[in-house]
Amino acid sequence: MSLLEVKDLVVRFGDAVAVDGISLTLQPGERLGIIGESGSGKTLTALAITDLLPEGASRSGTILLDGAPMPTSERAMARLRGQRIGMVFQEPMTALNPLMRINDQIAEAIELNSQHVSAQLDTPQLLTEVGLEQKHGDRYAHQLSGGQRQRAMIAMALASQPDLLIADEPTSALDLITQRLVLALIADICARRRMALLFISHDLKAVAQVCTRVAVMHSGRIVETGSVEQVLRAPQQDYTRRLVSASRFAPAATELRPLGETLLQVKGVTRDYHRRNALFWPIAPLRPVNDVSLSIASGEVVALVGPSGCGKTTLAKVIVGLDSASAGSIAFAGQSYRGRDLPKALRRDISLVFQDPFSSFDPRMSIGASLSEPLHLEPALDRALTPARLAEAVSAVGLDPAMLDRYPHEFSGGQRQRLAIARALVTRPRLLVLDEPVSALDVSVRGEVLELLARLQAQFGLTYLIISHDLDMVAAMADRVLVMEAGRIVEQGRPGEIFAHPLHRLTQELVAARLPELDAPSDPDATPAG
């Protein structure tokens, strides 16, 4: 008998259908991945199965657990959910109660399901099982790193010894190395406990890593389902084919780009944040950037990679003039500055593109108004020329200048990131600093945005500094990679060489954490290397 059987599940918000009649089954111990882009209905499917849909959503269809329908009373359903199904969510920071110690939150899950299981687990056991130390249990969520929080979430989900674990994008808020470790942990625990897994993700490689079977969702329907081998290596449907090809980055051009003179030179930059103790006494400063030197030639694409918290964003903020260096200096086209004192005349030459195109636009300003703001950096510019400049920037990113009167919410994520790039281009800059330019975007549009960036670079002779933790993207884009750890640059070189023969420990770890390509041979039952 199937562990879980879903038949004709429909989820509606009023008249809008979000999940449109999907059916799936899950055998005991089986690992099923649901792949889909944002808005495909994959998360709502999981929430519908566990009766956790947000207010305003209604569901219909049959959901059977061990052949029996789910109870209708809220209380019985809650208890069943606690006992039989464990859940892990995307953002572990907000999914944990900020005012409760980890131990207490795990203990609550154990206590709630104490009648259900014969062999009781205790909190120390669970902490050990997910690879946390006992001292982590005494802490609050904000005192743990992202990976530790997600491990704590998993420990909580395991407390009732469930038969089914539902993991909704459990690693997409984590950095590369942590992601690999958490994926390995989930696969490992499922195998050890013979627990079924419903793994929801937009990341095909992550699904290939932990699942045996996969269902591809697109606008509320399952378009293709089958074994991982079949679906991801020999996709039958157009949509799946597009997804699979989009998750591969075309390798970078092999020939070296002709480089100009040095455009940006960073000389021994250090950034200190001064701190004081309880009695306002100064204590050792926090140093996110520690004596960093680098230079970027005109027309070059340089990538800065490193784990979260390594200081790469702070360094970028100093370079674009949003923060100031505590020591050292920067020279741009021969002019020296420390950060915030970046001369206005130079500001138009350096532009910044942010990670999240949803929060980087003022929702109450039209796109045209947002895009024309940087033009105040050119006081000499004739106001009558503004529309022409906007049209030029918007056309350059492949959009229609007629869109300028619209507002941010009318655009998709990919279009917004194009508009963010247009905003960066409107002053005709020479250096573009791109902070994780595609990591907030769906897989299928990432390729387009990267192509656009490459085209613009060739067309206008732009210089890029790309900040990212995505080695595949970096390998496809960059001429040179700088690896950063704890405020220092620890290794640099051409991506092909540095990723093939990493010298520094961190680079080796980053390279090892890369998930295998979909066409690489792999055995899904094997525990991935950590």
Letters for 436-475 (x = contact with another protein by CB under 8 A, - = none) are: ----------------------------------------
Using the rule CB under 8 A, is 413 a contact of another protein? no
Alpha helices in 247-326 (DSSP H): 312-320
Contact between 112 and another protein by CB under 8 A: the answer reads: yes
Least distance between another protein and beta carbon 161 (Å): 13
DSSP string for residues in 491-515: EEE-HHHHHHS--SHHHHHHHHHSP
Q: How many residues bind another protein (CB under 8 A)?
A: 50
Distance of CA 211 to the CA centre of its chain: 20
List the one residue from 108, 229, 356, 448 that touches another protein (CB under 8 A): 108
> Of all helices (H) and strands (E), which one includes residue 388?
helix 386-396
Contact in structure between 134 and 127 (CB atoms under 8 Å): yes
Regarding 171 and contact with another protein (CB under 8 A), the answer is no
Taking the complex as a whole, the smallest distance from the CB of residue 271 to another protein amounts, in Å, to: 13
In the complex, minimum distance from the CB of residue 292 to another protein, in angstroms, rounded to a whole number: 18
With tokens 């009558």, the residue in question is 384
| Phi/psi at 275 (5° precision) | -130, 155
| Contact map string, positions 138 to 167, toward another protein, x by CB under 8 A | xxx-xxxxx-x----x--xx-xx-------
Nearest-angstrom CA–CA distance, 89 and 80: 19
Residue 44 contacts residue 57 (beta carbons within 8 Å): yes
Q: Which is nearer to another protein, 175 or 224 (CB)?
A: 175
Tokens 């802490």 belong to which residue? 139
Contact 299/260 with Cβ under 8 angstroms? yes
Cα–Cα distance between 347 and 430 in angstroms, integer?
10
Q: Using the minimum distance from each CB to another protein, give the nearer residue, 160 or 468.
A: 160
Rounded to 10 deg, the angle between the 505-513 and 176-193 helix axes is 50
Residue 270 or 366 having the CB closest to another protein: 270
Q: Is 417 in the site for another protein (CB under 8 A)?
A: no
- Indicate whether 426 belongs to the interface with another protein (CB under 8 A): no
Amino acid sitting at position 59: R
Tokens 């069943």 found at: 80
Query: Is residue 109 a contact point for another protein (CB under 8 A)?
Result: yes
Contact code string over 329-368 relative to another protein, x by CB under 8 A: ----------------------------------------
**Stretch 36-55 residues interacting with another protein (CB under 8 A):** 50, 52
Least Å distance, CB 152 to another protein, is 11
Q: Does residue 280 contact residue 271 with C-beta atoms inside 8 Å?
A: no
Q: Report the relative pairing of strands 463-468 and 431-435 from DSSP bridges.
A: parallel
State the nearest-atom distance from the C-beta of 488 to another protein, in Å: 16
Q: Please give the helix or strand (H or E) that residue 150 lies within, else none.
A: helix 146-158
Does residue 75 interact with another protein by CB under 8 A? Answer: yes
CB 117 within 8 A of CB 170: no
CB of 523 to another protein, least distance (A): 31
Of positions 89, 332, 337, 499, contacts another protein by CB under 8 A: 89
d(CA 348, CA 430): 9
- Check residue 376 for interaction with another protein (CB under 8 A): no
In terms of CB distance, is 107 or 263 closer to another protein? 107
Q: In angstroms, what is the minimal distance from the CB of 355 to another protein? A: 13
CA distances to 43, 131, 166 from 147, rounded to whole Å, are 21, 10, 18
CB of 370 to another protein, least distance (A): 26
Residues 357, 355: Cα–Cα separation, whole Å: 6
Nearer to another protein by Cβ, of 141 and 425: the residue is 141
Shortest spacing between CB 336 and another protein, in angstroms: 30
Could you say whether residue 14 binds another protein (CB under 8 A)? no
Please identify, using beta-carbon distances, which residue of 13 and 460 lies nearer to another protein.
13
Q: Does 83 bind another protein (CB under 8 A)?
A: yes
Q: Which residues contact 71 (CB under 8 A, 6 or more apart)?
A: 77, 80
Q: Which residues bind another protein (CB under 8 A)?
A: 50, 52, 74-75, 78-79, 81-83, 85-87, 89, 91, 93-100, 108-109, 112-113, 135, 138-140, 142-146, 148, 153, 156-157, 159-160, 275-280, 286, 308-309
